[in-house]
Amino acid sequence: MRILITGGAGYIGTHTAINLLENGNDLEIIDSFINSYPAAIKRLNYLKNILKIDSKFNIHNGDLRNQKFLEKIFSDSKKSNNPIEAVIHLAGLKSVGDSIRFPEKYWDFNVNGSINLFKVMEKYECRNIVFSSSATIYKYQGKEVLLDENSVIEPTNPYGQTKAEIEKILQDINKENVNKWRISILRYFNPIGAHSSGLIGEDPFGEPNNLFPAIIKVSSNQTRELKIFGYDWPTIDGTAVRDYIHVMDLAKAHYLALLKLMEFESKLLILNIGTGIGTSVLDLVNTFKSINKCDIPYSFTERRKGDFPYVVADNKMAEKILNWKPRNTIEDMCIDGWNWIKKNPSGYPK
């Protein structure tokens, strides 16, 4: 299949791309590099060659909000008699804190960018899409309650609101169903880790907002200590619990979702992509330390605004429908994250 990936130079994009290539798909990758590095694409190519993968990819440097840019990619693929059949839509801005500071930017990039993409897809009759949504759209359900796909949606920040909005647009497109779209919305929980080669991984711009990149920075002595946000949450050890999933397990779910969609004439498939296992901040820190035999100094600080104590997926639907099981343990995630930072102490070459 010829597949377009938006945001393909990013963290999840590079890992999803290698999985799609390994499965024999040719790719068109779009990225504006607003939150990624061209070196990530060079590494993807290098990894593809090392793994002796024959499938090919092209990279298109541009912005999703630029309709002409998008149209050219679709029209060139059509002219080549090998049109783009499906889109994996990952491009977007993802920092909760920035979205609170710059909401209009988030609505513009995430929602306007997506609408633009959907319009061009419709024009070129490419109506198969997998969209990256997030667990952040769910309302907190209380202590130790797993979130299933029917849990209440009530995002508490502009980032989450843009994801919920894009979901609504896709649901409207599906409802109308004049032109038979196949749509899969994947609600990711907390992807961490890296490809086991250590050639691609997560390299956030500036100070990391998320826990795992923050742990990695401390483990490699780039930051003195980890600040743990809150010690008195109503959890097993007082630190917040999340559902961490290996990025390669998450990557696999995209292709499986796409294959599943193709079995139907038209479909809307909404799935949680998590492991169903809760891990506290302290659990993750201690596992990282012991498996990698390194030190992670930390101190406790006040709770982060807007945080919840417990966000864990009920992932039964994804397991059943996709015939998918996350294979990697928290230990594997820590080993691969450590391998990535050991091989690339400053991330990708800048």
Question: Active site includes 159?
Answer: yes
Site string for ligand NAD, 73-92 (x = CB under 6 A): -----------------xxx
Number of residues located near ligand UDP, criterion CB under 6 A: 14
- Report DSSP state, residue 239: S
The tally of CA atoms less than 13 A away on the side-chain side of residue 90 is 27
Binds 227: which of ligand NAD, ligand UDP, none (CB < 5-8 Å by kind): ligand UDP
Instruction: Tell me the chain's radius of gyration from C-alpha atoms.
Output: 19
Give yes or no for residue 281 binding ligand UDP (CB under 6 A).
yes
Minimum distance from residue 135 beta carbon to ligand UDP (Å): 7
The span of 6-14, 139-147, 149-157, 227-235 binding ligand UDP (CB under 6 A) equals: 227-235
The span of 72-80, 107-115, 205-213, 327-335 binding ligand UDP (CB under 6 A) equals: 205-213
The residue type found at 334 is C
Structure tokens belonging to residue 276: 């169903």
- Is residue 191 within 8 A of residue 268, CB to CB? The reply is no
Give yes or no for residue 10 binding ligand NAD (CB under 6 A).
yes
The tally of CA atoms less than 13 A away on the side-chain side of residue 5 is 28
- Is residue 47 within 8 A of residue 195, CB to CB? The reply is yes
Give yes or no for residue 209 binding ligand UDP (CB under 6 A).
yes
User: Which of 41, 59, 216, 240 is in the footprint of ligand UDP by CB under 6 A?
Assistant: 240
User: Rounded CA gap, 31 and 36, in Å?
Assistant: 8
Structure tokens belonging to residue 206: 């500036």
Give yes or no for residue 155 binding ligand NAD (CB under 6 A).
no
- Closer to ligand UDP at the Cβ: 227 or 343? 227
Which position among 37, 106, 138, 159 bears the catalytic label?
159
* Residues in CB range of 102: below 8 A, 6 or more apart: none
Measured at the CA of 63, the angle between CA 60 and CA 64, to 5 degrees, comes to 100
Q: Which residues, in sequence order, are bridge partners of residue 128? A: 182
Site residues for ligand NAD per CB under 6 A: 7, 9-13, 30-36, 63-65, 90-94, 109, 113, 132, 134, 188, 190-191
Residues forming the active site = 159
Site residues for ligand UDP per CB under 6 A: 190, 209-211, 214, 227-229, 240, 242, 281, 304, 307, 311
